[in-house]
Amino acid sequence: MRSLFVAGTGTDIGKTHVACALIRAVRGRGLSIDAFKPVVSGFDPADPEASDPGRLAQALGEPDALPRISPRRYRAPLAPNLAARLEGDTLQLADLVDDCRDRLGCPDRDLLLIEGAGGVMSPLTDDATNLDLMVALNLPILLVAGSYLGTVSHVLTALEVIRARGLAVSAVVMSESLAAPDLVQTGQMLRSFEASAPLILVPRAQAWNASELADLILAPQS
Q: Pick the catalytic residue from 17, 37, 103, 154.
A: 37
Element counts in the chain: helices (H) and strands (E): 9, 8
Q: Is-catalytic flag, 37?
A: yes
71: which DSSP letter?
Answer: S
Q: For residue 89, count CB atoms less than 10 angstroms from its CB and return exposed for 0-12, middle for 13-18, buried for 19 or more.
A: middle
Amino acid at site 188: Q
Alpha-carbon distance of 168 to 171, in angstroms, equals 9
Query: Is 68 exposed, middle or buried, given 0-12, 13-18 or 19+ CB atoms closer than 10 A?
Result: middle
DSSP string of 155-210, one letter each residue: HHHHHHHHHHTT--EEEEEEEPPTT-S-HHHHHHHHHHH--SS-EEEE-S-TT---
- What string of DSSP letters covers 175-186? EPPTT-S-HHHH
DSSP three-state, residue 91: coil
Amino acid at 215: D
Q: Which residues are catalytic?
A: 37
